[in-house]
Structure 1
Amino acid sequence: MASIRSLNIREMRVRRHTPTPARGLNQLTPSDAGAREYRRGSIMNIKFLPPDLGDNVAIATERIVAGEILDIEGTDIEVQTTVPKGHRFAVKHIGVDEAVRSWSYPFGYAVADISVGEYLCNAKMKKVLELRDPDEYQQGLTVNFSDRDTTVEQIVPEPDQYFPQRELLRDSKTFLGFHRSESRGWGTRNYVAVIGVTSLVRNLVLSSSAAIADDVKTGDNFHGIAPVVHTEAGSEGSFNNRNLVLRTLAGFAVNPNIAAAVYVTSEDSPISNEELHSALRELGDRYYSSTVRFFTAGINEAQDVEALKRIVNPLVAKAQRQVAGEAPMSALKLGLQCGGSDAFSGVTANPLLGAAVEKALARGGTANLAETDELIGAEEHVLAKVRDDTVVRSFLDKQNAFKAYARRHGQSAEGNVSGGNIYRGLYNITLKSLGAGRKRAHETVLDYVIGYGEPMDRPGYYFMDSPGNDLESIAGQVASGANVILFTTGNGSITNFPFVPTIKIVTTTERYSLLQSDMDFNAGSLMEGRPFDEAADELFELTLSVASGRLSKGELTGQSQVQVWRDWHVADENIPSTPRAVPQGRPALPLSDREHIEPVLKQDQTTIAILPTSLCSGQVAEQIAGRANERADGRWETIALPHTEGCGVSGGEAEDLFARTMVGYAVHQTLKHTIFLEHGCEKTHNDYFVDQLNKRGIDPSDFDWASIQRAGGIESVTSAVLSKIESHVNEEVSRNSPQSGEDKAPCCLRSIGMGSAAREITPGAARAFASGATAFLDRGIGVVLNEMDPLLQVPEFREPLNLESTDATLQYGQSIDHLGFHIMQTSTGDWSEAATGMGACGVDVFAVLAGLRPLSPHRFLPTVQFSESVDDTGTFDGVLTGNDGEGGDIILHRTIEAFSGTYLQKIGHRPNVGFQLSRGFTGVSL
């Protein structure tokens, strides 16, 4: 194939051959390895299953204990090492340097002779198992194969023909949908969306949507208000994902599941309305046939909420009058996803999804395969049947561009594989990709390749460029026009999108039984002998039913999240990144040396934190906190700290920063207790944080731990966590009773965070904050700013402090060991990211100079907001209109009052404010 040979694949070894089609589970015969077990009874008794006859390793379909005898190719073999369910072992002898194969494709190379029956183990698996199951592997594990290096090796097929046209079936299949226009098509849901243009308006979008939803009646023909918030464009300056953000926001508004959209922006938005208008106009009639409104926030949020109600309510009334009608199959646009994958994803759920999707394609439907890095290593399968040579070129270009994007930041696609993936049998990115690629059925033709969020304007099977991060990938698919998401999961991923229904397809019956309340379809029935075609038919009919209005399990739980492909820092591969100096934790300015300083004490309060170990458990943590507070009767407060990290993001600096920040909050002095809540399949699961705490000399038994997947789903884990909260509160009440005889240690103000969002800081305001900083230091209270704060650029702030250097003294989220004036590293000017990092450092309260409008308060730490202008709206906590010393006194006393509890700030902490972590300079979505 000459066109492929001309591709410029940087540092790539390109191998080409015509692949042998791998078979699905339904195509196995009694002659396969493991068939002797098969013949003795039902397929449930098979101990192992090779995905394809050409393989030299097999998948354990149940746990195989060390010492167990297996019949392999007619020979009794004693297993020397316990093989967990879903892990692989050799069914043929594999010599040194020989490829280790699944689905006939190599995913690694033997580093030693591997005997028949020997457990397959690479370096990643050894690390994961020895961390999570140390008792099982006390003698340690031996690494016997290395991963295939997909950064330098790419296997490219040479299809012997192209398939420019698909023959369509003509039958009566339809679904009930909401017709928008010829260009927009049909929606499977009917929502009005309130879309935040940047992360700066998160509070307003969520609070206004909640207020509007309280007065709105939903039903079969109107599904409600869909708030859409994200993490991007929260600071001044350039950002590399600007075009992706604009394209995605525009695509959201014209998605057929949206009856009308209202964009919410602010005067200080880095994205202008004109830029957004331009992105919408590029969509042509999709935009011109849509109902779109714009709203710019003012200073007072309560007034903004009322103004938004006046805009949204007429749109709701119009949407409520729409009635669902019979939609053709050509209107069905499926986004294909997998998350929390396991070894059986490529055996049951993904092939089943592929078969159901082919039924939709055969009737004129559209499907969108995504997650670029989760197809690296599976090129040969994905490109085995394509529309034309352009598809091959475009697909490989997208893959190689993604590899370069990761390489610029010192990363590779291997960083995509989570701890949960590895623990459940996916050894590396190639094996994960080979399974993920099974979402394309063997008969399915890949028709088109598009960029992230680009529209699907013709029927067919698409590949869309995106990271493997589920939420970010789904956002791109929705922007492309997907009106239903089909999502396969091995561990039981619970993520959902606000206005597009998600159908969860689970790989095993065991996991489905555990999580039935959150999962829609059991693909594990194939392992029990269910006919493949029968299961595929049922999944296809379920898809049409959900498209017609049946609520998915995810919709019934009421939790959803949005995340756009997050920004990255290194745009040009030719510009080498310079390692940053690591701050040593010594303050830039010392505390006062005065003796006998009166401490500032905080009024006693029982605040309990639920700390999600990844983005996937964030909204569940929020829901649990809400239910806990309904029970509290003022006795305690439960706060959740949802975020966007912990899975689908690179390791290295970003992971270190994340772990440091999470541990910083777990031990924050203003929290009485912390409960870690894992999803169950993330990189940074509970065991990971147990290890992180141990490394820091912190006793993990001081915390509570909960798992959504291990508990059996959202309702089960909710009950468990609520019980833990109640138990802790009762213990606290008993401990604090006069009869207990225990002395309560007071919470003393140790450090404050300072910040500014003003575009122009007057000399007077700068001197007032310098005076305030000096006053805090004189009282033995530390001060922390982030290194990108505008105050540090103003001479009138630096000079009164005698601040000679503005170099960072703390890493992002680094615990403060030496009080004084500190400057914290950060990678952006986003206030929410800066505040989140400073809170992890140990800051107890914030004093900030607001700009055109108030800043978002911290999730639970008091945020005292000052203004230079006369405050006619009653929005700010103090006005700096006097002399510099008087302004410093105002900052000092009002901030102390807020910490101690004698002053309640005008904009207090609440559930809907942002808690956003930085990724540093090398963290990227994978």
Structure 2
Amino acid sequence: MVTRILKIHPNDNVLVALQNLAKGETIIHDGNEYILQDDIQAKHKFFMQDMNAGDPIMMYGVLVGKAQHFIPKGGLMDTENTKHASDPYEFRPYHYEWHAPDVSKFEGRTFNGYIRNDGRVGTANYWLFIPTVFCENRNLDVIREALHNELGYAVTDKYKSYAHHLVEAYKNGESLTDANTSSLGQANPVANRVFKNVDGIKFLNHQGGCGGTRQDAAVLSKLLAAYADHPNVAGVTVLSLGCQNLQVQDFMNDLKHRSPNFDKPLFIFEQQQSQSEEQLVKEAIRKTFIGLTEINKIERQPAPLSKLVLGVKCGGSDGFSGISANPAVGYTSDLLVALGGTVLLAEFPELCGAEQQLIDRTKDETAARKFIQLMTAYNQAAENVGSGFFMNPSPGNIKDGLITDAIKSTGAAKKGGTSPVEDVLDYTEPATKPGLNLVCTPGNDVEATTGKAASGATLILFTTGLGTPTGNPVCPTIKVATNNALTKRMGDIIDINCGPVIEGEKTIEQMGEDILEYCIRAASGEVIPKAVLLNQDDFIPWKRGVSL
């Protein structure tokens, strides 16, 4: 019999609907009867007892909200009767005991990655174009079009063919129907590559580098240096205008500070020192091509799973995120940590309500206090402009059952598993300690993935219940769906389906092992995530202002 409802934690006073439930239905759970006072859509919650104004609402075993007025037993939780609330948090001496999962199935396993001279291992082999300022974006676009098409990295040929079909139909006076859409072929990003060991040429177009504040330019410089130093990047071409705030020397200083022994091919071009736009672009293409011939000599080699750095992210979340995909990814995280690998959990606005649990799991007092300081300052900055972490849930989140930020956040924190927190990193700081690391980023999908890659993630697991195409230029991003319906509807962007957890067909542990198996294949280049296939190279630097 298919389970229709779920109580996540023994201390909860709400039940989650796994299917649509009708008003007037009698639901029996653990020997108790609940007569539904409203229609309850799948992913939403109803109350297990009468609630009065001010009563705490518990989910995942923690405070996630407070009742705003009387709500009858069996009533629907919604934005009218429930407001965000979370417990205060503080540092306290706490001995956390972690029971690591059984990893015997994965012990001794390897992935085929690109071993760098500093000992880190990439899951991809990219050449990276970096503009120091937005003025160079056009030149990057010109270079991208030239190189992507000629070297076999373009994925838009099918749409060019379709546009050509429409043009010909128009010229011939034919009907401009969509009849031929179904005949579009799939781009093959591997078969036609000139350089078989170069997985892509990536471009970090952005809107910064001048104007704004000097702090913006300084943070951007550190971010760009982090991407140049990334283990998935084998060579770099930098384009600069010349007069901008973010000077080439600033970038070089940050790169040297981050990687004193940086030894990748690095070409720098400054437009105000060039004779013409044509000379600049041609020389950048020529030198990059020569560099590509060199990095094409690097081949994949076996490396232990402990060399993987896994970023975990959620976006377009729904009411199933915290009970299927996120805990499954969390189990994957625990497996990797137990194998000696590194996991990066970020999105600080989406850890609201889970702070005390994470503080208690942090091994080092200094790191714990750093987490408290970053969280407190971030939320205060948001409140200073009339916002706050409580405003994080989007309309789509709320529509699909994430009524408060604490509900969203406590479910989101499940991606980090249960292992101890080894370190806490501010934005762009590199992960240097194996195990679970907390990384300060916004919750915004692209700002968060941009930040995870800057801290060294070589793969990102991205869970979604509503569907999002987000990717990253240098870090393969794997989409994990919370439910079967999404996988069926948006299969062109989904890589892994956790719907079997909701249907009772797989356990969290089984799903977590499946996800790790996929990660090993993706890290080895044996399977290409959909975001990579689509060249979904999203990159948004965080200006350190308020962004939830």
> Is the 1:79–1:118 Cα contact (8 Å) retained in structure 2?
yes
Residue equivalent to 1:518: 493
The AA in structure 2 aligned to 1:172 is G
Of 155, 159, 180, which aligns to 2:89? 155
The AA in structure 1 aligned to 2:347 is E
The AA in structure 2 aligned to 1:925 is S
Judged with a 3 Å threshold, the aligned counterparts in structure 2 of structure 1 residues 532 and 72 are, in CA distance, closer, same or farther, namely: closer
Residue equivalent to 2:217: 242
The C-alpha deviation readout for 1:17-54, integer Å capped at 9, x for no partner, is xxxxxxxxxxxxxxxxxxxxxxxx1xxx3222121121
> Is the 1:348–1:526 Cα contact (8 Å) retained in structure 2?
yes
1:836-851 correspondence to structure 2 within 5 Å = none
1:101 is paired with a residue of what secondary structure?
strand
Of 248, 251, 254, which aligns to 1:276? 251
Residue equivalent to 1:566: 543
User: Equivalents in 1 of 2:18, 2:93: separation in Å?
Assistant: 33
> Is the 1:358–1:441 Cα contact (8 Å) retained in structure 2?
yes
User: Equivalents in 2 of 1:119, 1:416: separation in Å?
Assistant: 21
* 1:167 positional shift: 11
Higher relative contact order, chain-length normalized (CA < 8 Å, sep 6+):
2
Judged with a 3 Å threshold, the aligned counterparts in structure 2 of structure 1 residues 330 and 218 are, in CA distance, closer, same or farther, namely: farther
* 1:232 positional shift: 1.8
1:416 and 2:392 matched: yes
Judged with a 3 Å threshold, the aligned counterparts in structure 2 of structure 1 residues 117 and 159 are, in CA distance, closer, same or farther, namely: farther
Q: How many residues align?
A: 501
User: Equivalents in 1 of 2:293, 2:383: separation in Å?
Assistant: 50
Judged with a 3 Å threshold, the aligned counterparts in structure 2 of structure 1 residues 545 and 99 are, in CA distance, closer, same or farther, namely: same
2:64 is paired with a residue of what secondary structure?
strand
1:213 and 2:148 matched: yes
Residue equivalent to 2:432: 457
1:925 and 2:547 matched: yes
User: Equivalents in 2 of 1:532, 1:258: separation in Å?
Assistant: 34
> Is the 2:422–2:433 Cα contact (8 Å) retained in structure 1?
no
2:322 is paired with a residue of what secondary structure?
helix
User: Equivalents in 2 of 1:165, 1:381: separation in Å?
Assistant: 16
> Is the 2:91–2:369 Cα contact (8 Å) retained in structure 1?
no
Q: Give the TM-score normalised by structure 2.
A: 0.87
User: Equivalents in 2 of 1:77, 1:535: separation in Å?
Assistant: 31
1:316 and 2:292 matched: yes
Judged with a 3 Å threshold, the aligned counterparts in structure 2 of structure 1 residues 416 and 145 are, in CA distance, closer, same or farther, namely: closer
Of 289, 298, 302, which aligns to 2:263? 289
1:858-873 correspondence to structure 2 within 5 Å = none
* 1:172 positional shift: 1.2
1:435 is paired with a residue of what secondary structure?
helix
444-453 or 299-308: bigger deviation: 299-308
* 1:558 positional shift: 2.6
> Is the 1:72–1:91 Cα contact (8 Å) retained in structure 2?
no
* 1:303 positional shift: 3.0
User: Equivalents in 2 of 1:369, 1:542: separation in Å?
Assistant: 19
Of 286, 295, 304, which aligns to 1:328? 304
Residue equivalent to 2:81: 144
Residue equivalent to 2:131: 196
Judged with a 3 Å threshold, the aligned counterparts in structure 2 of structure 1 residues 169 and 208 are, in CA distance, closer, same or farther, namely: same
Residue equivalent to 1:468: 443
1:410 is paired with a residue of what secondary structure?
coil
User: Equivalents in 2 of 1:240, 1:267: separation in Å?
Assistant: 19
* 1:489 positional shift: 0.8
> Is the 2:214–2:245 Cα contact (8 Å) retained in structure 1?
no
1:155 is paired with a residue of what secondary structure?
coil
The C-alpha deviation readout for 1:468-508, integer Å capped at 9, x for no partner, is 11111111111111111111111111110122111111111
> Is the 2:132–2:248 Cα contact (8 Å) retained in structure 1?
no
1:259 is paired with a residue of what secondary structure?
strand
* 1:384 positional shift: 3.5
> Is the 1:177–1:188 Cα contact (8 Å) retained in structure 2?
yes
The C-alpha deviation readout for 1:183-207, integer Å capped at 9, x for no partner, is 5x11110111111112221111121
The C-alpha deviation readout for 1:96-125, integer Å capped at 9, x for no partner, is 321011011111112223221111122xxx
Q: Give the TM-score normalised by structure 1.
A: 0.52
The AA in structure 1 aligned to 2:11 is G
Judged with a 3 Å threshold, the aligned counterparts in structure 2 of structure 1 residues 526 and 56 are, in CA distance, closer, same or farther, namely: same
User: Equivalents in 2 of 1:362, 1:375: separation in Å?
Assistant: 23
The AA in structure 1 aligned to 2:118 is E
* 1:157 positional shift: 7.1
* 1:533 positional shift: 2.2
* 1:219 positional shift: 5.8
1:289 is paired with a residue of what secondary structure?
coil
2:130 is paired with a residue of what secondary structure?
strand
* 1:227 positional shift: 1.1
Alpha-carbon RMSD across the aligned residues, in angstroms, is: 2.2
1:9-88 correspondence to structure 2 within 5 Å = 41=1, 45-72=2-29, 74=31, 76-88=33-45
1:472 is paired with a residue of what secondary structure?
helix
> Is the 1:56–1:93 Cα contact (8 Å) retained in structure 2?
no
The AA in structure 2 aligned to 1:223 is D
1:400 and 2:369 matched: no
User: Equivalents in 1 of 2:214, 2:54: separation in Å?
Assistant: 44
* 1:440 positional shift: 2.1
Residue equivalent to 1:140: none
The C-alpha deviation readout for 1:698-754, integer Å capped at 9, x for no partner, is xxxxxxxxxxxxxxxxxxxxxxxxxxxxxxxxxxxxxxxxxxxxxxxxxxxxxxxxx
* 1:214 positional shift: 2.9
The C-alpha deviation readout for 1:568-601, integer Å capped at 9, x for no partner, is 3xxxxxxxxxxxxxxxxxxxxxxxxxxxxxxxxx
Structure 1 residue runs of 5 or longer lacking an equivalent are 1-40, 123-142, 569-923
1:538-577 correspondence to structure 2 within 5 Å = 538-549=514-525, 550-566=527-543, 568=545
1:345 is paired with a residue of what secondary structure?
coil
Residue equivalent to 1:108: 65
451-460 or 462-471: bigger deviation: 451-460
User: Equivalents in 1 of 2:256, 2:476: separation in Å?
Assistant: 27
* 1:405 positional shift: 2.2
User: Equivalents in 1 of 2:507, 2:311: separation in Å?
Assistant: 25
The C-alpha deviation readout for 1:381-425, integer Å capped at 9, x for no partner, is 323322122222111111011112213322211232111111111
Residue equivalent to 1:187: 122
Of 335, 351, 365, which aligns to 2:327? 351
The AA in structure 2 aligned to 1:179 is I
* 1:75 positional shift: 5.1
The C-alpha deviation readout for 1:506-540, integer Å capped at 9, x for no partner, is 11112122222210111121122213322211111
* 1:300 positional shift: 4.1
Residue equivalent to 1:507: 482
User: Equivalents in 2 of 1:342, 1:89: separation in Å?
Assistant: 16
User: Equivalents in 2 of 1:419, 1:303: separation in Å?
Assistant: 49
> Whose radius of gyration is greater, 1 or 2?
1
User: Equivalents in 1 of 2:420, 2:346: separation in Å?
Assistant: 15
Judged with a 3 Å threshold, the aligned counterparts in structure 2 of structure 1 residues 540 and 399 are, in CA distance, closer, same or farther, namely: same
The AA in structure 2 aligned to 1:178 is Y
User: Equivalents in 1 of 2:194, 2:338: separation in Å?
Assistant: 34
Residue equivalent to 1:173: 109
The AA in structure 2 aligned to 1:490 is G
Judged with a 3 Å threshold, the aligned counterparts in structure 2 of structure 1 residues 165 and 423 are, in CA distance, closer, same or farther, namely: closer
1:400 is paired with a residue of what secondary structure?
helix
Identity of aligned residues (%): 28
Judged with a 3 Å threshold, the aligned counterparts in structure 2 of structure 1 residues 403 and 212 are, in CA distance, closer, same or farther, namely: same
Judged with a 3 Å threshold, the aligned counterparts in structure 2 of structure 1 residues 302 and 233 are, in CA distance, closer, same or farther, namely: same
1:231 and 2:207 matched: yes
1:514-913 correspondence to structure 2 within 5 Å = 514-529=489-504, 530-549=506-525, 550-566=527-543, 568=545
